């Protein structure tokens, strides 16, 4: 998914997505923006993994399994 596609799917501006992707460390954005991005990515098949929900115990993402 490109930044432009993510912007269209989430309703978050392309400029905001570019700014967030350029950040080092923890993201600085409002909750509504992050929630919109997460929803759009989940609809595209991304699974967000909470801390402690995997064997390594770390947070992360993966693609949803086919099927």
User: From residue 54, how far is each of 25, 49, 62 by CA, in Å?
Assistant: 22, 7, 11
What's residue 64's pLDDT? 76
Residue 3: pLDDT band by 50, 70, 90 thresholds? very high
For the stretch 6-48, pLDDT in tens is 999 999 999 999 999 999 988 899 999 999 999 999 999 999 8
The domain in which residue 14 lies consists of 3-63
Alpha-carbon separation of residue 19 from 40, 51, 53, 54 (angstroms): 18, 25, 29, 30
Question: Domains in the chain: how many in total?
Answer: 1
Residue 54: pLDDT band (50, 70, 90) is: low
């Amino acid at each position: 998914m490109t930044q432009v596609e993510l912007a269209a799917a989430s309703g978050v501006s392309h400029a905001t997505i570019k700014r967030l992707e350029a950040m080092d460390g923890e993201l600085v954005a409002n909750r509504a923006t992050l929630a919109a991005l997460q929803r759009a990515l989940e609809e595209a098949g991304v699974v967000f993994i909470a801390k402690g929900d995997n064997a390594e115990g770390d947070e992360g993402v993966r693609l949803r399994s086919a099927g």
